[in-house]
Chains A and B, each alone.
Chain A
C-alpha cells in the first residue's frame, strides 16, 4: 500500500466574484503527496497555493478535475468526516482557530467532535500537547500565550484527531522569529518521529528549503517540483514568477553571474561557506 495520501488530477478551481467575473485560481494541478513526506508549497500571493491547500481536506471542492485523500474522492459528501480526520489543517492566524478558553479543552475539541470516549480523549490531548511541547500550559488560557505558543496549540488541536497528514497554510506568517522557529521545529519533529505527512504552504524561502520536496506554484499551476536543491538551482525561473531564492543560493548565483565557478546547490549556510572556501582556495 504505497498510495499517495493526497492526489490531485487536473484540478481546476474558479469562483464567481462580486463583479460577476470568474477568475481561474487553479488551472490544472496534478500533484501526488506521498505518505510520510515533508512537502513545501511555495508561491507568491495569488498563485493559488492557499486555494490548493483548501482542496486537500474538502473545504473547497474542485470546479474541475478530482482530488483524492487516501483514495477517497473529496467530492464524496458521505466521507467528509473521514477525509477531514485524515488530513488536518492549520491556518495562519492562531487566534481564529482556537475554540476554547482553556488549552486542553481546545485540543480536545476535535476528538470530542469525532465522538471519542473521554479516557481516549484525555490520552490524545496529553499526547498531542507533549508532541508540541505545550503540556505544561494545558490549563492556561490561550489568549495569554504568545503567537508561537498559540500556533503550537492549534497544531496540537489538529494532531489530537490523529490525522495521517497535516496541511499548514502559512502557519508562521503572523509570528515573530522565535515563534516561527518553534513552530517549524515542531512540524519537523512531527514528521520525523510520528511519520505524519506534512504539507506546508509558505512564502518564506528558508522554510521551504527545509522540506524534502518543494512544489512551486504560479498563476494556478505547478511550475517547479523537486527537492529544494534542485528547484532553487533554477534561479532565473523562480525570479520570472516573482519569487526570490534563499540568501545562500542568491549569493552563489550572483557570483556565477560574475563568471565564478561555484556550485548552485549549496543550500545550507555550511555548504555555502564550504563552496566559498573552495572558491577562494583552489
Chain B
C-alpha cells in the first residue's frame, strides 16, 4: 500500500501566474467553473471547458503526471458512474439488449459526458490545491465566508481547523507507515484475506494512530497557546489578500464563461 501516493490537498510551490493569483479569485473561479461544467450539454461547450482547463494546467506548470495520479482514488467512482449511466439512461436508439440490460446511444453519450465532467471537476479542484498554499487557501475561505460571522458561524475556527488538518496529513501518513511497518514486523497482515479480515487487521493500526493523534493535538494546543494564540480576534496576517487587476479580469472572465455556456445551452448547443 503506497500511502505516499495520496496527493489530496497537496501543494506544489511555484511562481506561475496561477500561483500568484489571490486565493479568493481561484475559489470563486473554481465555483464558477463547476457551475459551467454542469451547465454544459454539448461537445462544443465541453470542448471549450476542456481547452480552458488544459490551458490553465499548462500555465500552472503542475506536472500532468501528478494530476493523473490524483485521479487514482476516484477510478472506482468513475467506473461506477459510467456503468449506472450506461444502463439506466432511457433512449430510443437501442444498441444492445441482453436479459434486463439495455444500452442506448443516449446512455453511452451520458456516460461519457458524466465521466468527463467528473474528471474535469476533480482536475480543476486539484489545480486549486496544487497552486495554492493551504494557508492562503484557508485565508481565502475565511475571508470569503467572513460575512457569515455575523450570524455566529465560527469562520475563523473552521479555517484554522482546516489548515491544521492539512498540515498534519503528511505527518500522520508518515506515522501510519511507521506503525504499519512495526505491526508487519510482528506478523500483521494487511493485504490478504477477505474484506472483513482486512478491516479487522486495521484495528491494531488505527488504535495507536488515534492515541498518538490525540497526544499530538494536546501538545499542539499547548504550543499554540505558548505562541499567544487566542482565537481570530485581533489577529493580523503576514500576507494581506489583495485583488489585483489580473484577479478582477479572471473573475469577470469566469462570470462571462458561465453566462456564455448557459446561453449556448439555451440554443441547444
| CB contact under 8 A between A118 and B236, given known A81-B228, A95-B171, A99-B164 | yes
> Are the C-beta atoms of B228 and A85 separated by less than 8 Å?
yes
Stretch at the interface among B27-35, B60-68, B196-204, B214-222: B214-222
Number of A-B contacts (CB under 8 A): 101
**Interface residues in B, total, Cβ within 8 A:** 31
> Are the C-beta atoms of A99 and B228 separated by less than 8 Å?
no
> Are the C-beta atoms of B238 and A143 separated by less than 8 Å?
no
Point out the residue from A91, A98, A104, A161 that lies within 8 Å of B238, measured CB to CB.
A104
Residues on the A chain within 8 Å of B239, using CB: 118
Stretch at the interface among A108-116, A188-196, A235-243, A244-252: A108-116
Residues on the A chain within 8 Å of B224, using CB: 99, 109
| CB contact under 8 A between A59 and B219, given known A100-B167, A105-B133, A118-B238 | no
Query: Within the complex, what minimum Cβ distance (angstroms) separates A128 from chain B?
Result: 12
Indicate if B227 sits at the interface (CB-CB under 8 A). yes
> Are the C-beta atoms of A161 and B227 separated by less than 8 Å?
yes
> Are the C-beta atoms of B226 and A57 separated by less than 8 Å?
yes
Residues on the A chain within 8 Å of B174, using CB: 143
Indicate if B266 sits at the interface (CB-CB under 8 A). no
Residues on the B chain within 8 Å of A157, using CB: 227
Point out the residue from B13, B135, B234 that lies within 8 Å of A100, measured CB to CB.
B135
Indicate if A186 sits at the interface (CB-CB under 8 A). no
**Complex Cα–Cα for A270 and B240 (A):** 54
> Are the C-beta atoms of A84 and B228 separated by less than 8 Å?
yes
Indicate if B229 sits at the interface (CB-CB under 8 A). yes
Contact code string A84-98 (vs B, CB < 8 Å = 1, else 0): 110011010101111
Query: Within the complex, what minimum Cβ distance (angstroms) separates B175 from chain A?
Result: 9
| CB contact under 8 A between A143 and B219, given known A100-B163, A110-B228, A118-B237 | no
Residues on the A chain within 8 Å of B83, using CB: none
Indicate if B140 sits at the interface (CB-CB under 8 A). no
> Are the C-beta atoms of A102 and B228 separated by less than 8 Å?
no
Query: Within the complex, what minimum Cβ distance (angstroms) separates B151 from chain A?
Result: 25
> Are the C-beta atoms of B216 and A96 separated by less than 8 Å?
yes
**Complex Cα–Cα for A105 and B239 (A):** 9
| CB contact under 8 A between A89 and B238, given known A98-B167, A100-B163, A101-B134 | no
Offer 29 A-B interface pairs, CB within 8 angstroms, sorted by A: A59-B222, A88-B226, A89-B223, A91-B219, A91-B222, A91-B223, A93-B216, A96-B216, A97-B219, A99-B164, A99-B167, A99-B220, A99-B227, A100-B163, A100-B167, A101-B134, A101-B135, A101-B167, A102-B133, A104-B238, A109-B227, A112-B238, A113-B229, A113-B235, A117-B236, A118-B236, A143-B171, A154-B223, A161-B228
Residues of B with Cβ closer than 8 Å to A? 11, 13, 133-135, 163-164, 166-167, 170-171, 174, 216, 219-220, 222-230, 234-240
